[in-house]
Every structure is written in C-alpha cells, then in structure tokens.
Structure 1
C-alpha cells in the first residue's frame, strides 16, 4: 500500500474527528453568561418588575429647557427615565424619575426625612443629590454634576417637574 494514499485518506478523517470531538466539548460559561444566569436563575429576583411603569411615560413630565439651560434626553428603560441638564454645553445636573417597585428600599430614605419639596417628602442623597417621593411610588431626583449647581438649584428644578401628574401614574 502506498503511504501517500493513506495520508490523503487519513488526514481528512482525523481532521473531521478532531472537529467532531471539539464541537461536542462543553465550554465554561463566560463571565457575562454567568452573570445572566445568576440574575435570571431559579430563585433570582428580577431586576425590573413586570408592573413597573414604562420609562417613556415619564418623558412628558420632565421640565422643559429654560433660562439658558437645555434639558436633553439621556436614557430611558422600563421603570426609569433620565435627562441631562446642560448650561453652555456643559453637563451641570442629571434629572431622573424611577419607579420604586424595582427597588422598594429606595423609599426608606423619605420616611425619616422631615423635609418636603412642593408638598412631597424629600431627601438628600449624598452631597450632590436631592429627591422627592411622589405618589408613594416614584422617586424624582436631581443630581449635581458641577459644583456650580447647588442644593437650592436642585430643589428649584425638582419643582419644575410635573410632580402631580407623576404621582397620578398607575
């Protein structure tokens, strides 16, 4: 028998066998797959509750651009909407509305606060954030991104939201 003939037959056979064995081998899941499995696993709590309000419903209640400030859409997803507040092309604050059904512990900071803004319970969030809880469900928040944007600026911008309409959402 000719060795060249065997080589022509054996090489494709071995290559096919190698491909078959390697394609059937199980690979460890990537870190992204592991995170997905952990977050959607059997006993995992979903990140967004089904009854959460769609972020698009919040958009019409954000303040309008005024007084040299631009209100620019930044992010929207189920249970959350965020806008950037710009002045002279620079980000000075972030405005957001979030549905606390996704994070019930977010409501706790308002229970111990004796402060109100526009009649709604208010709380400071760190040194750069101020928020109100409307309708006992929605957190409306303003966070400074520039040192020139003060606590009183945050409180003034919170009052520019249509808080009554947000509170009436179901």
Structure 2
C-alpha cells in the first residue's frame, strides 16, 4: 500500500481553471478554490510536506503558496529534476509523493511519483499516465478531492 508523506501540485490547471484575466497594465489574475485550500490545510495538519511546482513565472503562484503555507518552486521549465532535488532534500522516496498535474509537462512527475492524479479536465495525454483521474476540474475542487481521497483511504503517513 502506498503511504504518502508529501503532496506536490502543479499550479495552472490544478489550483486554477486555466483562465487568466489580464488588466490594461498587463497584471494577471487567476481564480482558485477555497475548498482546495481547506484540503491542503487538512494534509498540513497531518504533517505532510506540501509543494507547488510550476512552470508559471507569474508572482501569483508565490502569493498563493504563501497563503496556503506551501513551499513553492515556480518558473521551473523541467519539473522532474527540480522535484528530484526537492525530494532528496526532504528525504522522501518517490513512492511517498502524491503529485497532481494537468498537462504534458507533468507527465514525467506523474510517472515518477507513488500516486499521480489529474483533474477531470486534464489534457488527454496526461490522463494516460495518471493513477487517479479525479471527477472535479482544476480550480474547481480537484485538489480537495485528492486530499479527501488520501485521507479517506488511509494513504497519509503521519510522522
């Protein structure tokens, strides 16, 4: 049985619904689900390592991570080597990590981690490599659904 010690999330398409609003000065705004935030809080209370790993360079990624009290690595073009460095520093095995991503640049991480999940509206090629295809869309409760799944199935290894 998989025992999860960490949750790693992509940002766009996972925390958000992949929609971006841009004002006349070029500032970008996204929408995130508060339900997802509660799920992350429940996992934090269990002692899980929490990381946002994103290709996106927008400062909104860091702001959301700060709000959720998650570690963040953003503007990462090749996610797997960055995740491997973080994993080794946190003294985690690949099978102890749950990863949620939604697009083709998440496939390597989905394959490497102990549990790979994608939102319902993930890219079809990412779905092929997921252990779990969620029923909720990105930015609409997919992270909360994954958190609830981990907790309900006793997959969280508490310290």
TM bucket normalised to smaller: under 0.3
- TM-score computed with the length of structure 1 as normaliser: 0.26
Bigger RCO of structures 1 and 2 (CA < 8 A, at least 6 apart): 2
- TM-score computed with the length of structure 2 as normaliser: 0.27
